[in-house]
Amino acid sequence: MKKIITLLLALAAIANVASAKDYVLSTPNTSLILSAETGKTLYFRYYGSKASASEIRATGRMLRYDAYPVFGTACDRPYAALIKQHDGDNAAKLVVEKIIEEKRSGNTIQLSVLLRDVAHPTLVVKVNYFAYEDCDIIKMNTEYINEGKKPIVLQKYMSAVLPIQSDNCVLLHLDGSTKNEYNEVVEPLTSGVRTISSQSGSRTAIFHNAAFMLGLDGRLDERNCPVIAGALSWMGNFHFEFYNTLQARVPTLFMGGINPAASDYTLAAKSSLTTPEMIFTYATDGKGEATRTFHRWARKHQILDGEKQREILLNSWEGVHFDISETSMVDMTRDFAALGGEMFVVDDGWFGEKYPRDNAKTSLGDWNHAPGKLPRGVQPLIDMAHSNGMKFGIWIEPEMVNVKSELYEKHPDWVLRHPDFEPSYGRGGGQLLLDLTNPKVQDHVFGVVDNLLTKYPEIYYIKWDNNMTMNNASSLYLPKELQSNLTVDFTLALEKILKRIREKYPHVVIQLCASGGGRLNYGYMPYFQEMWTSDQTDAYHRVLIQWGALNFFPANMLAAHVGSAFSKYTQRHIPIKYRFDVASMCRLGMEMVPASMNDSERAYAKRAIAAYKEIRPVVQQGDLYRLVSPYEGLRDFTSLMYVSESKEQAVVFVYRHIVKHDMSNIILRLQGLNPDAKYMIREVAPEVEGKPVKLDGKVVSGRVLMQEGVVIPELVKTYSQNRSHGEMRLSNDYRSVVLSLTEVK
Ligand code: DGJ
């Protein structure tokens, strides 16, 4: 009898499956398949190469797993949502109510499914899938809608769930800290749950980054292997969960979204919460392809002015720190203009009327010029930049206040802190984060930018810094019962402020900075044209940092500056050519006092800046191909290249870090070129003017360059004439060569 019942149930299940409809969402080369039937669970079936449902069914690659598992129906395995009803019930069963297939404007097709809870029908969860027609990108998010008359509490509310048919995944993610950002970490995804998350509240990429790659066939190679990459577009705390089990019925699962830690979210009656978008790509040609898809999509669809050229700038910070004066700024501006620079940016230290900003202990919040430092205000600096044919930019940290400031004296209740105990102070011992959930604070932060741009309309660029995490996660504005909404509401408030700024100032260039690269995330891209990659001034260290960041973030939004020869952070000396060549792999700038260079360095800087202008379109808009990784074992070399979309131009960067006696030549097999085209090779900004490497001037086909590669013997010499290069060369370590390739028609 029992057997017959089991058989009947199985037949019923098959009948259900058969009556469910498949929904296929495709990009040019990938597909995602769901199956849905009204009144039933929504199933995730497939994400991978472009295919029809029948092909995937025929190959046995069709999965059948809850597309959005929730606590209640998925209690014994990872769930994406845990929702506490007003009566305390925390179980839910979500079933399909409606499938909305709609073509949206622009390049995306959207498929949304409305799921309603069987036990509490006033709870609706809308899961959204967006596919791009011009890029292999699929986005996912969810909307929580409380149609009831009482609030509910979201205890876990992930944006996306991605079941993956592989039990042999390799994970790549980024880990680091200030001046040591984005170390590339690669590890096998072993059995159990692997989480990567952030709890820092306001600069949430400071340790871990909300982006990952998964190699699906037990390896994560640059080419020829299937890879899924993902990134969360969210300025707040994030949470990634990778669940890997040997149970046959549960695939490897990825879930990503807002970090629910200490963030139970009270959703008021008749209100909704839209969770941030998770961005995915699927690549068959390795992580190289995954990176290129992310870069192209980001430039085209996510970064503000992502296809516009970025200027070469000098920032005052590493040169003079807080020691700002009209004379020092004017000198730097003039000296940088003489090198061919395009913009001068005054960093921290220019403000504070009552309390001049002489160090990190005072003045944040008081955004008027310090009369003792700039007696005539900021305008003469702008005029000086303009009279030298350059643009002008300025630093602010608008979300912050120092206890020693006029702002704090007026509004001590505008900060994040607990009312009953002493807050923990940030940088300088007196810094606090403003409470962005307070609408008056929102007006203030908007006003910092608005007042500055109203007073000085010729400001072209703003550096928006943030040097404090949310150590005091208590709001004096939110009522007690909504304290755990803080991390989410703070992030939503920041987004609201940024939207308001962009409505009034759509194209003022704003760089995002957070003690270096502590905010590198896709969520900021619609508001900021670029991000400061790191405060690390050691160019070798920056190779590792920039390489890590470039996995997910394109070169035109990563600011990279040439510092002085001696890095105080690592105590290493690095020659000027290598420093320029490293910064030139992203958006080039300088961060030192130009007058501190000797004559040969200055002459080289001038040539390197002129050369960057030539290669800039390819670096800033080209496709990235990684040739030799600095993370792979103990390599003496690192190499990467950019190729223009038309494949008519390319730029190859080669860095030799540490010299060894009798080094072997390295064969660099180039990538991404047109095999049938012939390319003229030129060395970009050779170390000694007029003495390029032997490859310079050679014409070689793309096919040979890719199949046989090139050797640059000059880079392996250990004894080159140190003295003939004047004082430019400090040792034989840290040598580099940059080649440009132009198609010869
Ligand atoms: C931290 C940033 O990362 C630096 O570039 C600089 O702007 C300082 N803040 C200024 O205080």
For residue 10, is pLDDT > 50?
no
Q: Specify the residue for token string 């919460």.
A: 273
Beta strands per DSSP E along 50-151: 65-66, 81-84, 94-103, 108-117, 123-132, 138-146
Query: If you measure from the C-alpha of residue 426 to the centroid of ligand 1, how many angstroms do you get, rounded to a whole number?
Result: 14
Residues 6+ apart with CB under 8 A from 728: 575, 576, 577, 598, 600, 601, 604, 687
Which SS3 state, helix, strand or coil, does residue 446 take?
A: helix
Q: Measured from the CB, is residue 513 less than 6 Å from ligand 1? A: yes
Reported as a single tens digit per residue, the pLDDT across 29-62 is 999 999 999 999 999 999 999 999 999 999 999 9
Query: If you measure from the C-alpha of residue 177 to the centroid of ligand 1, how many angstroms do you get, rounded to a whole number?
Result: 14
Each as own residue / partner, the long-range contacts of residues 40-45 (CB below 8 Å, 24 or more positions apart, any chain) are 40/16, 40/95, 40/96, 41/66, 41/67, 41/73, 41/94, 41/95, 41/96, 42/66, 42/67, 42/68, 42/94, 42/96, 42/113, 42/115, 42/127, 43/67, 44/161, 44/162, 44/163
Q: Please, which pLDDT band fits residue 721 given cuts at 50, 70 and 90?
A: very low
Which SS3 state, helix, strand or coil, does residue 702 take?
A: helix
Reported as a single tens digit per residue, the pLDDT across 128-176 is 999 999 999 999 999 999 999 999 999 999 999 999 999 899 999 999 9
Q: Which of 202, 347, 357 to mutate to test the pocket of ligand 1 (most atoms within 8 A of CB)?
A: 347
Task: State the average pLDDT for the chain.
Answer: 94
Q: Which atom of ligand 1 is nearest to the CA of 321?
A: 10
Reported as a single tens digit per residue, the pLDDT across 432-444 is 999 999 999 999 9
Q: Specify the residue for token string 């400001």.
A: 459
Query: If you measure from the C-alpha of residue 395 to the centroid of ligand 1, how many angstroms do you get, rounded to a whole number?
Result: 9
Q: What is the reported pLDDT for 7?
A: 45
Q: Measured from the CB, is residue 559 less than 6 Å from ligand 1? A: no
Reported as a single tens digit per residue, the pLDDT across 592-635 is 999 999 999 999 999 999 999 999 999 999 999 999 999 986 66
Reported as a single tens digit per residue, the pLDDT across 189-244 is 999 999 999 999 999 999 999 999 999 999 999 999 999 999 999 999 999 999 99
Q: Measured from the CB, is residue 181 less than 6 Å from ligand 1? A: no
Q: What is the reported pLDDT for 103?
A: 72
Amino acid at 75: C
Q: Measured from the CB, is residue 528 less than 6 Å from ligand 1? A: no
Q: Measured from the CB, is residue 400 less than 6 Å from ligand 1? A: no
C-alpha pair distances (Å), 741 with each of 49, 98, 480, 656, 738: 33, 54, 62, 20, 10
Q: Measured from the CB, is residue 317 less than 6 Å from ligand 1? A: yes
Per-residue DSSP letter, 522: G
Q: Which atom of ligand 1 is nearest to the CA of 347?
A: 7
Residue nearest to atom 10 of ligand 1 (CA): 348
Q: Please, which pLDDT band fits residue 14 given cuts at 50, 70 and 90?
A: very low
Query: If you measure from the C-alpha of residue 346 to the centroid of ligand 1, how many angstroms do you get, rounded to a whole number?
Result: 11
* Percentage of residues in the chain having pLDDT higher than 70: 95
Q: What is the reported pLDDT for 570?
A: 93
Average pLDDT (670-692) is 97
**Tokens (6 digits) for 511:** 């760089």
Q: Please, which pLDDT band fits residue 715 given cuts at 50, 70 and 90?
A: confident
Q: Measured from the CB, is residue 516 less than 6 Å from ligand 1? A: yes
Closest CA to 364 of 325, 402, 413: 402
Burial readout 162-193 (b: 16 or more C-beta within 10 A, e: otherwise): bbbebbebbbbbbebebbbbbebbeeebeeee
Q: Specify the residue for token string 């930019």.
A: 393
Q: Measured from the CB, is residue 348 less than 6 Å from ligand 1? A: yes
Q: What is the reported pLDDT for 260?
A: 97
Element (H, E) at 680: strand 678-683
Query: If you measure from the C-alpha of residue 7 to the centroid of ligand 1, how many angstroms do you get, rounded to a whole number?
Result: 68
Query: If you measure from the C-alpha of residue 53 to the centroid of ligand 1, how many angstroms do you get, rounded to a whole number?
Result: 52
Q: Measured from the CB, is residue 591 less than 6 Å from ligand 1? A: no
Query: If you measure from the C-alpha of residue 321 to the centroid of ligand 1, how many angstroms do you get, rounded to a whole number?
Result: 9
Q: Which of 178, 181, 313, 317 to mutate to test the pocket of ligand 1 (most atoms within 8 A of CB)?
A: 317
Residues 6+ apart with CB under 8 A from 559: 511, 530, 531, 532, 533, 586, 587, 589
For residue 1, is pLDDT > 60?
no
For residue 727, is pLDDT > 70?
no
Closest CA to 390 of 347, 333, 319: 333
For each of the domains in the chain, give its residue range(s) and CATH number, in order of start.
70-296 (2.70.98.60), 313-506 (3.20.20.70), 533-560+595-745 (2.60.40.1180)
Q: What is the reported pLDDT for 247?
A: 82
Going 308 to 313 to 318 to 323, the CA torsion angle's sign is negative
Q: Measured from the CB, is residue 462 less than 6 Å from ligand 1? A: no
For residue 11, is pLDDT > 50?
no
Q: Measured from the CB, is residue 464 less than 6 Å from ligand 1? A: no
Q: Which atom of ligand 1 is nearest to the CA of 516?
A: 3
Q: What is the reported pLDDT for 180?
A: 97
Closest CA to 273 of 418, 152, 191: 152
For residue 322, is pLDDT > 90?
yes
Reported as a single tens digit per residue, the pLDDT across 368-411 is 999 999 999 999 999 999 999 999 999 999 999 999 999 999 99
Higher-scoring residue by pLDDT: 229, 725: 229
Q: How many CB atoms lie within 10 A of CB 440?
A: 12
Q: What is the reported pLDDT for 15?
A: 44
Q: Which atom of ligand 1 is nearest to the CA of 535?
A: 3
**Tokens (6 digits) for 648:** 């008519």
For residue 726, is pLDDT > 90?
no
As a dihedral over the C-alpha atoms of residue 113, residue 119, residue 123, residue 125, rounded to 10 degrees, the angle is -30
Residue nearest to atom 11 of ligand 1 (CA): 348
Q: Specify the residue for token string 């000694």.
A: 688
Q: Specify the residue for token string 């995602």.
A: 32
Scanning 593-653, the segments in alpha helix (DSSP H) are 599-621
**In the beta sheet, which residues pair with residue 402?**
431
Residue nearest to atom 6 of ligand 1 (CA): 317
Average pLDDT (728-739) is 82
Q: Please, which pLDDT band fits residue 663 given cuts at 50, 70 and 90?
A: confident
Q: Which of 318, 324, 469, 515 to mutate to test the pocket of ligand 1 (most atoms within 8 A of CB)?
A: 515
Q: What is the reported pLDDT for 30?
A: 98
CB 33 within 8 A of CB 24: yes
Q: What is the reported pLDDT for 13?
A: 43
The predicted model scores a pTM of: 0.95
CB 211 within 8 A of CB 229: yes
CA separation for the pair 608, 92 (Å, rounded):
62
CB 741 within 8 A of CB 683: no
Query: If you measure from the C-alpha of residue 228 to the centroid of ligand 1, how many angstroms do you get, rounded to a whole number?
Result: 34
Q: Please, which pLDDT band fits residue 730 given cuts at 50, 70 and 90?
A: low
**In the beta sheet, which residues pair with residue 188?**
170
* Percentage of residues in the chain having pLDDT higher than 90: 90
**Helix 599-621 with 576-583: angle, nearest 10 deg:** 20
Q: Which atom of ligand 1 is nearest to the CA of 514?
A: 3
Q: Which atom of ligand 1 is nearest to the CA of 513?
A: 3
Q: Measured from the CB, is residue 347 less than 6 Å from ligand 1? A: yes
Residue nearest to atom 2 of ligand 1 (CA): 515
Q: What is the reported pLDDT for 12?
A: 43
Q: Which of 400, 532, 533, 558 to mutate to test the pocket of ligand 1 (most atoms within 8 A of CB)?
A: 532
Q: What is the reported pLDDT for 725?
A: 52
Q: Measured from the CB, is residue 402 less than 6 Å from ligand 1? A: no
